[in-house]
Amino acid sequence: MDSKSLAVFTMIYERKSIRQAAVELYLSPQAVSRILQNLESELCVPLFERSVKGIIPTDAGEYFYHQAVMLLKGMKQICQNVRNIYGEKHTVKIVCGYGVLSALPYQKILNFKEKYQDIEVYWREYPDKQAEYEFLNKDYEIALLVKHHTLSGTQYDICDLYSKKVVILVYEGHRLYHRDSLSYEDLKNEALIMEGDDFHIYEEFERRCNENGVYPNFVAKTGDISFCHKLCTLKQGLAVSLDFLMDDFKNEHVRAIPLEDDQLRWSVQMISNKYAALSQAAKKFCDYLKG
């Protein structure tokens, strides 16, 4: 039994599905099933009951889940505290959502590195949901994540950093090309292109559309925002994008038109665990960005 097995088990329990757990963990369903079978063999008890309706935790599974959650949190905190006290005191490990550093802007990171030349800044970028998973399950001290209800302030220190507006890219010749702003009603029945399910902005955009009586017609979903822009230039549909990206995307035949809904924002937060001892390097980085 190891931390990976416990993490897989807790995800199966929370998603009530081996297939969905595999999606969240970026593993194959076969690998998840094998880990669960090995865990049940080691414990000599079934943790779930299988049926045509899905899987249901047994009494042993219910008990094991709550113990596993506490164990995982304790193991993560112990490892991080030990590493911060005795490990890489001059390295800041950060996990980010895609696009976060581009909007920061990155010059702020360069300024920090120039000010604290003895501190190395190490980061990895992932789609929003995977970035959250990496932060919750790996040894990153700080996360720069797109705002979402997944993480609350009860366990985490959360600092709002910045917020960007949603824009709609419209190609020349389209009926909406000369508009100054667009409503959800304007987008009704339009072919839409945007980032997919791994990004929170997709969920929020779809939710706000539905609340306004519009059910978006997505003809393409991608993890590469630049590809959304390219498809728009090819007149495959209107692309949902963000205002700050327009500095890098210039095309005289495509316009970025603001969405009238100012409540729909792409907001970024800096997050750290309240109950983990931050290294001195991480504290300096947090104070720098807050300042």
Contact 106, 230 (CB under 8 A): no
At residue 183, does pLDDT exceed 70? Answer: yes
Residues 130-180 pLDDT 10s: 999 999 888 788 999 999 877 766 788 899 999 999 999 999 999 999 999
Predicted confidence band at 113 (pLDDT cuts at 50, 70, 90)? confident
pLDDT at 87: 52
At residue 89, does pLDDT exceed 70? Answer: no
pLDDT at 35: 92
Q: What's the pTM?
A: 0.69
Point out the least confidently predicted range of 26-35, 79-88, 188-197: 79-88
The torsion angles phi and psi of 211, rounded to 5 degrees, stand at: -65, -25
pLDDT at 109: 84
Section 15-36 average pLDDT: 89
Alpha carbon distance 141, 152 (integer Å): 16
Residues 47-63 pLDDT 10s: 998 877 778 899 999 99
Measured between its terminal Cα atoms, the distance across the chain in Å is 44
pLDDT at 85: 62
pLDDT at 84: 61
pLDDT at 86: 58
pLDDT at 125: 94
At residue 78, does pLDDT exceed 80? Answer: no
Domains of the chain: 3-83 (1.10.10.10), 87-162+267-290 (3.40.190.10), 164-265 (3.40.190.290)
Section 123-135 average pLDDT: 92
